[in-house]
């Protein structure tokens, strides 16, 4: 199964960024690498905010990752999806 994503309404950028910060902090703790980040915030084809969910089925060293409590609290306004429709990127 592919990674799942969180989708927030377009007016919930602060909440999405709070989740991203919590996920990045948790990912650094999980991996032991202070230079890594987990999240990248982007918009989908409907201008909703999308970022990867830090939870199962994602694994680290063959162990499923349980969603960290800080991430769980920060995703109150996000909806978990198995996929999203990417925004179209114009050719430069």
Using only C-alpha atoms, the chain has a radius of gyration, in whole angstroms, of 13
Report pLDDT for 92: 60
Mean of the per-residue pLDDT values for the chain? 90
Report pLDDT for 91: 63
Using the predicted structure, report yes or no on whether residue 90 has a pLDDT greater than 80. Answer: no
pLDDT, tens digit, 9 for 90 and up, residues 41-75: 999 999 999 999 998 888 899 988 988 999 998 88
The token pair at 19 is: 């989740």
């Amino acid at each position: 199964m592919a990674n799942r994503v969180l989708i927030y309404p377009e007016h919930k950028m602060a909440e999405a960024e709070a989740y991203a910060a919590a996920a990045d902090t948790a990912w650094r703790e999980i991996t032991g690498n202070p230079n890594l980040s987990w999240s990248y915030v982007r918009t989908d084809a409907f201008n909703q905010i999308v970022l990867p969910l830090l939870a199962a089925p994602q694994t680290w060293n063959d162990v499923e990752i349980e969603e960290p409590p800080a991430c769980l609290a920060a995703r109150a306004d996000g909806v978990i999806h198995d996929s999203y429709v990417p925004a179209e990127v114009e050719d430069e």
